[in-house]
């Protein structure tokens, strides 16, 4: 199982010429040359490259260089369609055989294969393994066999599919044809299981780096999940993103909330009909929707290159899942945001589901869950932690692309002492209580239950009073993640581990985080600055609109026409001729012929109208951009259900009746609506004279607290009216 060598010079030149001609690339990405060499020489291989690392080209390029047709096993119809559409757009003859075809369409493809007119044929494992299909391909003259999403083969993989197990017959049926397995995430155990299950002969294992340097990872303990989701979406407004939720209920609630705020968001989960799922997925791919809110049911079949952010509004159940799901962002190599919002409850939900399943793989799944918890509560570089999980090391001291290395998180001074106080409190409580209760005791809460049980008399009562219960609760979770504490049993009671007991003796160095300082700037990471350097953003938007128009005319997703990386390179180079257009990275000969004239004309018109130079030399630096976070909190998901009613001027009483909510609740929703929509005029809900009185009171006593205003107005104006008035006045001041 030795590593493969790079292809001979003549073969390498042939491969590079094919890449340039069809895909517009003039160089190999890491490991691509060696993976292509294996496919050119019929040596079985297992190739593990991260999403965006160019896996598909590893078999597509050899396929166009060799005689015969390449057989590609793919798990999903949508994935096959995307791949075939993209290949045809580049001038590569390809087809897919699946259940959506009519008998007549299948006959046409069969004739094309017999005549040698196709270079790649995509097919699902179930259809391929039918005896008649195997007999047909025995006569077809196969150049190679590629198995995409190969982690589905292994029972240790995160998306195991039993139908993939039967693919072992391929090596027996086609012993002289190289079989090549490709996946983005596979541990060493999974890789060897794939090789064994496929019956590969001395396969070459080619494993690239699991690091995705263009992804900016941020991990936060959730407080108001919906508000935090909205903050990132607002920063990326109009760009494509995916929001993952653990449950279908959360998917529906989040998607509805985002839609009510004016975002183009759609839900996706197994509870929807097949037709609705397909409609929503197509709308996302064709850029008629910007956001898909989904369970893990969404993603494997998505080949969309320009997803600019992935938000996990709940903790995934393993780092394999997290790497796969977050990896759907930035497939084009451009910068993308990955935000993970988690809570201790997320882990409890997954633990319950895993234990309820009672499968043979449950023990491994629980171990994966523990690793995921440790990742969330850890304070090491996120990129380093992910690659370490897959058995690799990250070079350099600072990745420049995660909340830790960007300096967005601060470590608490004296963490050892704080941790010892927490551990001591758990022991004083006889390890019989959960995290919430323990945090309240540490914060000195006067809650009735604490007083009834006499826990206000413990020596650890109030030890963290100056920090508060919220901080104590977060630190408890961080200590669980660092294995100083453990959650035990159905009620997740806290228990001090052996490691925790050693810490109490002064043996250990825990690390605890404090919240990011208010108003602190967020840096976007190195990849963002690099990918936008020299790009005329106005021209980029013009080209994006042109791409959408041409894609609609041809009935393909916009990224099939050109990816964002190609558009940015056009807006950077600004080519004035078709020959210069071919120098844009991602423009091959077929795409130049199909789209070159339209794009060159659009570039020329824009440059002339805006006095911008054409035919620029490319020079990319690595300076860091600074982006300010939205500081104002967003609304919660429940509040957004009232927004459409307020938008049409409905009264508080009408909304109470429509939603079945209490008056105080609806008034809270109204204040959030006013803040989010920047409403100036409160007259649908408040008399103008009240606004004037509150404004006068603010001038007299300030807007720092409600009570002085209430007192200044002789206690005649209700607090609820004061809140509404203050929200409108704040919007006027900020205008």
Instruction: Give the chain's domains with CATH numbers.
Output: 9-207 (3.40.50.300), 215-397 (3.40.50.300), 411-514 (1.10.10.10), 534-610 (1.10.150.80), 639-734 (no CATH)
Q: What tokens appear for 280 in the block?
A: 């929503």
pLDDT at residue 259 greater than cutoff 70: yes
Q: pLDDT higher for 4 or 377?
A: 377
Q: What is the mean pLDDT of the chain?
A: 85
Tokens representing 398? 């600072």
What's the rounded Cα separation, in Å, for the pair 285 and 555?
11
| Residue of 38, 106, 98 lying closest to 72 (CA atoms) | 98
DSSP classification of residue 613? -
334-387 pLDDT tens trace: 889 999 999 878 888 888 888 776 555 677 788 888 889 889 887 878 998 898
**Model confidence, pTM:** 0.68
Above 70 in pLDDT, residue 695? yes
Lowest-pLDDT choice from 8-12, 108-112, 325-329, 363-367: 363-367
Q: What CA–CA distance (Å, rounded) separates 12 from 18? A: 10
CB neighbour class for 165 (10 Å; exposed up to 12, middle 13-18, buried from 19): middle
Note the pLDDT of residue 151: 81
> Which residues have C-beta within 8 Å of that of residue 581, sequence separation ≥ 6?
570, 575, 587, 592, 596, 599, 600
Q: What is the pLDDT of residues 90-108, one digit of tens each?
A: 999 999 998 888 889 999 9
pLDDT digits (tens, 9 = 90+) for 490-534: 778 999 999 999 999 999 888 888 754 444 445 555 555 556 778
- DSSP for 106-147 reads HHHHHHHHHTT--SEEEE-HHHHTSHHHHHHHHTT-EEEEEE
H/E/C letters for each residue in 499-532?
A: HHHHHHCCCCCCCCEECCCCCCCEECCHHHHHHH
For the ranges 236-250, 344-358, 619-633, 680-694, the lowest mean pLDDT is seen at 619-633
Burial (0-12, 13-18, 19+ Cβ within 10 Å), 381: buried
Q: What is the dihedral of CA 160, 161, 165, 167, to 10 degrees?
A: -120
Q: How far is CA 393 from the centre of its chain?
A: 23
Is there a contact between 476 and 422 (Cβ–Cβ < 8 Å)?
yes
Measured CA to CA, the distance from residue 3 to residue 441 in angstroms comes to 58
Q: For residue 60, what pLDDT band results from cuts at 50, 70 and 90? A: very high
Q: Can you read off the two tokens belonging to residue 582?
A: 């071919």
- Please give the average per-residue pLDDT across 393-413, as a whole number: 82
CA 387 to chain centre: 17
CA 208 to chain centre: 21
Instruction: For residues 51 and 39, give the distance between their C-alpha atoms in angstroms, rounded to a whole number.
Output: 20
Helices (H) and strands (E) in the chain, counts: 33, 19
Read off the pLDDT of each residue in 83-92 and give the average, rounded to a whole number. 92
Cα angle 116, 119, 123 (rounded to 5 degrees) comes to 105
pLDDT above 80 for 111? yes
């Amino acid at each position: 199982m030795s590593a493969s060598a790079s292809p001979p010079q003549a073969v390498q030149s042939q491969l590079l010429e094919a890449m340039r001609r069809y895909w517009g690339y003039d160089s190999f990405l890491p490991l691509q040359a060696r993976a292509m060499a294996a496919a050119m020489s019929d040596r079985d291989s297992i190739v593990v490259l991260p999403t965006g690392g160019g896996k598909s080209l590893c078999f597509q390029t050899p396929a166009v260089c060799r005689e015969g047709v390449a057989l590609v096993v793919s798990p999903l119809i949508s994935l096959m369609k995307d791949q075939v559409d993209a290949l045809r757009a580049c001038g590569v003859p390809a087809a897919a055989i699946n259940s959506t075809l009519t008998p007549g369409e299948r006959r046409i493809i069969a004739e094309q294969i017999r005549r040698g007119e196709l270079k790649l044929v995509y097919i699902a494992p179930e259809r391929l393994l039918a005896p008649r299909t195997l007999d047909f391909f025995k006569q077809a003259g196969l150049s190679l066999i590629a198995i995409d999403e190969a982690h589905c083969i292994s029972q240790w993989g995160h998306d195991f599919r039993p139908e993939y197990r039967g693919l072992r017959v391929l090596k027996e049926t086609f012993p002289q044809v190289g079989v090549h397995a490709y996946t983005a995430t596979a541990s060493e155990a999974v890789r060897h299981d794939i090789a064994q299950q496929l019956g590969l002969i001395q396969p070459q294992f080619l494993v690239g780096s699991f690091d995705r340097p263009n992804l900016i990872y941020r991990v936060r303990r959730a407080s108001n999940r919906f508000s935090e989701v909205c903050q990132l979406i607002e920063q990326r407004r109009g760009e494509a993103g995916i929001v993952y939720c653990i449950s279908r209920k959360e998917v529906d609630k989040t998607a509805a909330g985002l839609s009510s705020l004016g975002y183009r968001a759609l839900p996706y989960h197994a509870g929807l009909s097949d037709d609705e799922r397909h409609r929503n997925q197509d709308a996302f791919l064709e850029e008629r929707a910007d956001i898909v809110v989904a369970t893990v049911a969404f993603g494997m079949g998505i080949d969309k290159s320009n997803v600019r952010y992935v938000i996990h509004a709940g903790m995934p159940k393993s780092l394999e899942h997290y790497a796969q799901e977050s990896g759907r962002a930035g497939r084009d190599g451009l910068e993308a945001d990955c935000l993970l919002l988690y809570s201790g409850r997320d882990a409890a939900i997954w633990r319950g589901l895993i234990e309820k399943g009672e499968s043979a793989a449950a023990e491994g799944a629980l171990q994966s869950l523990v690793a995921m918890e440790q990742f969330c509560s850890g304070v090491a570089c996120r990129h380093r932690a992910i690659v370490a999980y897959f058995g690799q090391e990250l070079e350099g001291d600072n990745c420049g692309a995660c909340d830790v290395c960007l300096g967005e998180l601060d470590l608490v001074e004296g963490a050892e002492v704080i941790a010892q106080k927490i551990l001591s409190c758990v022991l004083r409580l006889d390890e019989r209580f959960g995290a919430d209760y323990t945090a309240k005791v540490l914060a000195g809460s006067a809650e009735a239950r604490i007083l009834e049980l006499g826990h206000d008399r413990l020596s650890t009562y109030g030890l963290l009073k100056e920090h508060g219960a919220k901080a104590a609760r977060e630190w408890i979770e961080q200590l669980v993640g660092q294995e100083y504490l453990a959650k035990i049993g159905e009620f997740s009671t806290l228990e001090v581990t052996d490691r925790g007991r050693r810490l109490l003796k002064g043996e250990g160095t825990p690390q605890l985080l404090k919240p990011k300082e208010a108003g602190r700037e967020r840096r976007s990471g190195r990849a963002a600055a690099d990918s936008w350097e020299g790009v005329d953003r106005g021209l980029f938007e013009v080209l994006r609109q042109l791409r959408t128009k041409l894609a609609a005319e041809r009935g393909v997703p916009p990224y099939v026409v050109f990816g964002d990386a190609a558009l940015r390179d056009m807006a950077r180079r600004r080519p004035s001729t078709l020959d210069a257009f071919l120098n844009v990275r991602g423009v091959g000969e077929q795409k130049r012929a199909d789209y070159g004239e339209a794009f060159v004309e659009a570039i020329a018109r824009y440059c002339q109208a805006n006095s911008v130079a054409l035919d620029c030399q490319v020079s990319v630096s690595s300076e860091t951009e600074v982006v300010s976070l939205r500081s104002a909190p967003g609304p919660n998901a429940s509040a957004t259900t009232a927004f459409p009613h307020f938008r049409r001027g409905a009264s508080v009483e009408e909304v109470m009746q429509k939603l079945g909510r209490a008056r105080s609740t609806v008034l809270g929703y109204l204040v959030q609506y006013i803040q989010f929509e920047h409403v100036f005029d409160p007259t649908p809900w408040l008399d103008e004279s009240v606004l004037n009185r509150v404004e006068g009171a603010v001038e007299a006593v300030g807007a720092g607290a409600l009570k002085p205003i209430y007192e200044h107005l002789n206690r005649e104006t209700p607090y609820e009216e004061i809140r509404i008035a203050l929200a409108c006045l704040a919007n006027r001041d900020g205008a």
